[in-house]
Structure 1
């Protein structure tokens, strides 16, 4: 990344000079700052300094640069890997509408106010966010963990996905590449069990061969023993938006909070490359960044997290709930918030199951996007997650095709995403089509598509990302908590429905998010009737904590401990 260019294009000499000066002063040691009045001058200047990679394109928009968005679009076509940023004067509010429109249809990544003076920290905060976005797209840099393995090995893909979603800086090396062979030789491994994981951030480097999730967590120092006799105020199962929302509010309000997560923070939302409609992030935020920030927030308030432990059952007595864990241990809590979320539904085509992780990916699989360079990628699904994945993959793949069973996206996808997909030259949408099969040797090579109206089938080269709905992760409470026929947990007034579980045992009615077991609450995608939005999941997590307080108060009033 050293030596990449920050390009400022502005006919307005004042904006160009002020911006170039601030960029050079703050970032000149690590980046080349190039200033120009138009695209041709910028191209010539870049050529003169050796043609470095372009990290950010700053294009002025205003009275002196009325065609600034067109200029940016021209330059972005030449440097598609750069982040395109509109540069405006403070108070030029007439530029707002065209900027927002350009962001909506994917022709612009961000906008910033031009610096107002020396050391304009608001400007530099925005620039730092832009540079962080660009560097995260490139990979490289500090590697706390290194993985050596086969690119299409499902275990290696799982590890890459876990590391990426947990925002652990890591590097992946093909075992057969010169770098991979050299790394294995340096470690003294002649015939290792792949993938090999090198944990570099601990006082003593640890080398793991084909590690399980538990072995990896232990090597990271995350596998602390849990006290089976301690009784926590609340145990939260699942670290998606609902669980993290509950964790932040519970811990910040002084509750003894234990948080259990079997995989990575963020849940399905954590795989989204860019969430544009979450409150407070006008230019969007990646799901992993949002989730990791929430995790840090809860941790700072005092939540104790336990990773890589799956909860296998729920029981208890005398008002205390016991959660059995996959490693044979157990924990106890006075209340429980079930926020275990949902898993992506399988596509149901037998011959494709063998290619899972080797050309067939469930969810956005953000860590796999760079490997799609030069390929045709099919994204299956009609919801926001599928749309966000198509947008993200279009930065790498030669062509992205969104496959939709319906005749329209209007009922299932946000309008801003539909408009962005329509504007992206590398993305096309095919309606009334489904995946009927696929073929390949070591990896998926071709996909068989069926037209739902005519029945005609075609076979096309490409890889597959599947986001066709979700199934609640509630098998571990089957027969214990009331569920509907699809497996979603019934709560509050819905407990009067047709769920299969013990009847509600108390004289008082269940609280709004309370399950069929008093003191056990559900929040987020796992609950019947939930709104499949990040904001609503966070809100349900917060509401669950209010109900937890009420339940704990009732226990205290009854003398229960």
Structure 2
């Protein structure tokens, strides 16, 4: 029987009125300070503490006081320019005091000499954003930027603001890590409470639970309180109401498998161009890109954009055009039924469509070290460090991997951890990491250290990771290092096992498309043998389309496709191109058979 809510709606915020987060402004330039201060007070004074200073020493004192009183700080704004030298050094002093606060440089319009040092500081992780000082009141462009900065801060400040979902579990639980990551990436506001803490025990008592099966997941947004104990993903999805069954006789124009950047772009263009579209997603929107704390080289975002924010915006856009999304489901097989393509799902159902776009991306490669595999989610994490980083403040953490994802994770972790060590098997980062990232890491020493020619051979801990064993590949010497956390980003493998026998894949499992399907004789006629049916459709007298697989009407885009460029922008482009080719395929499929010969 559903339980009644134990808490008043206002208590969902988890923050008393006198615990408002602070916006701290400092600057010697009286004009900027007064103008910015007035705008902040008028627009944000009701919801935030506004603290204004003309001296950076006084501002640091105020920040120390706020820290001692456990008051959150959302933004620290400092004027930069001829009258405000030393601003970058000030921002470096802010991070240890309030690692979650967003650091924002304020400059006058037209102060172009100041802009380059700001860009350099952002690249080096010394500040987070910049904004032009308001020139009039109200300056909505200024406020749009401030609101976006506050949104970014709120997204990384767990336990503050509205909680749609409440998770109660042991802090070291791998399942707790998985749930927090899934809810966070799907933009579902949640609060997490350690079951062994006073707050956690109080929340359990509020729910009338004495010795529950952990984790406990409480849905606070439903008409009547919904409390789940040790739920699996399907139970959570069912409680959310997002598991509406797909009618067995419903036929889609296109089904997109996966909702990373390529899949989201494909679904957006398909739906906006009138195609009946459904997306099947096993976990969360965004794919690997959705775990990136900051993508700095995506066009149109001069200050960078988090992978999660970019992906969620694409999801909302696709949804607004009519795309249907079905989460917590994954494909188990693909075959043909006449002109239709049929996808088997892990819940026993099937999806029928005239065309398919496979955008399943890739999965992280594992270390395959038993002692560390046993600690997955308890100090050992695969993927980027967005959700776990705040909990590692003042601790020593390690990142293994030499690619861009590893570099981004190290930079993000360095905002919180006392030291980040990157373990790399090669002798340089030059061949595997973008220059701006490798430069940033080099200039972040000693906060970030790189150990070259090094691999992990062991490690362990009782309930939580506490040490690693690494080996120098040249000398063979092994060394034990204390470690609070390890983030593993050592490459990936495609999620294509479910396509075995259905489409041509290379020896690594990547899907072969277009011209790469040509036979050794140079014959590029597309051939298909229907997997599992014993029915050979024979040869189609045409060449495969650029992104088409060996099964006509089935396309592959993004990281899962052999030869693809592993970049977010190119994945988005492939998703858009695939839909243009879907249109071409559907037109050809409607032609009389004799016209195809």
Tell me which moved more, 459-468 or 26-35: 26-35
Structure 1 residues 76 and 11, CA, compared in 2 at 3 Å: closer, same or farther? farther
Tell me which moved more, 173-182 or 73-82: 73-82
- 2:313 counterpart SS class: helix
- In 1: Cα distance, 2:172 partner to 2:96 partner: 31
Q: Which runs of 5 or more residues in structure 1 are unaligned?
A: none
Map 1:415-494; keep pairs closer than 5 Å.
415-424=435-444, 425-462=446-483, 463-494=485-516
- In 2: Cα distance, 1:296 partner to 1:82 partner: 27
1:237 to 257, 263, 269: 257
- In 1: Cα distance, 2:73 partner to 2:259 partner: 36
Find out whether 1:360 has 2:380 as its counterpart: yes
CA contact (8 A) 2:100 2:390 kept: no
Partner of 1:531: 565
- 1:288 counterpart SS class: helix
Partner of 2:5: none
2:543 to 486, 491, 509: 509
1:377 to 374, 387, 397: 397
Find out whether 1:540 has 2:574 as its counterpart: yes
Q: Which runs of 5 or more residues in structure 2 are unaligned?
A: 1-14, 521-526, 530-537
How many Å apart are 1:210 and its aligned residue? Answer: 0.9
The alignment covers a number of residue pairs equal to: 560
Map 1:199-278; keep pairs closer than 5 Å.
199-278=219-298
Partner of 2:82: 63
- In 2: Cα distance, 1:302 partner to 1:400 partner: 44
CA contact (8 A) 2:528 2:552 kept: no
Find out whether 1:406 has 2:426 as its counterpart: yes
How many Å apart are 1:164 and its aligned residue? Answer: 1.2
Map 1:34-73; keep pairs closer than 5 Å.
34-44=51-61, 52-73=71-92
Give per-residue Cα distances to partners, 1:342-372, cap 9 Å, x unaligned: 1000112222211111121111152222222
CA contact (8 A) 2:95 2:415 kept: no
Partner of 2:28: 11
Give per-residue Cα distances to partners, 1:112-135, cap 9 Å, x unaligned: 000111110100111111122222
TM-score by length of 1: 0.95
Give per-residue Cα distances to partners, 1:31-68, cap 9 Å, x unaligned: 22222223123235567889654332212122322443
Find out whether 1:348 has 2:368 as its counterpart: yes
User: RMSD over aligned Cα, in angstroms?
Assistant: 2.1
How many Å apart are 1:77 and its aligned residue? Answer: 5.5
Structure 1 residues 73 and 357, CA, compared in 2 at 3 Å: closer, same or farther? closer
Give per-residue Cα distances to partners, 1:366-403, cap 9 Å, x unaligned: 22222223321111111111111111222222221111
Tell me which moved more, 63-72 or 169-178: 63-72
Tell me which moved more, 169-178 or 180-189: 180-189
Find out whether 1:197 has 2:214 as its counterpart: no
- In 2: Cα distance, 1:402 partner to 1:44 partner: 34
Find out whether 1:95 has 2:129 as its counterpart: no
CA contact (8 A) 1:482 1:502 kept: no
How many Å apart are 1:173 and its aligned residue? Answer: 1.2
- In 1: Cα distance, 2:97 partner to 2:377 partner: 33
CA contact (8 A) 1:106 1:423 kept: no
Structure 1 residues 507 and 297, CA, compared in 2 at 3 Å: closer, same or farther? same
Find out whether 1:496 has 2:530 as its counterpart: no
CA contact (8 A) 2:173 2:377 kept: yes
How many Å apart are 1:514 and its aligned residue? Answer: 0.3
CA contact (8 A) 2:253 2:276 kept: yes
TM-score by length of 2: 0.90
How many Å apart are 1:289 and its aligned residue? Answer: 1.1
Tell me which moved more, 240-249 or 70-79: 70-79
User: Deviation above 6 Å: which 4+ runs of structure 1?
Assistant: 47-51
Partner of 1:329: 349
- In 1: Cα distance, 2:212 partner to 2:382 partner: 28
Find out whether 1:22 has 2:42 as its counterpart: no
Structure 1 residues 81 and 184, CA, compared in 2 at 3 Å: closer, same or farther? closer
Give per-residue Cα distances to partners, 1:527-558, cap 9 Å, x unaligned: 00111111111111111001001011112223
- In 2: Cα distance, 1:428 partner to 1:46 partner: 28
- In 1: Cα distance, 2:443 partner to 2:117 partner: 15
Give per-residue Cα distances to partners, 1:492-515, cap 9 Å, x unaligned: 0111369xx957831101011000
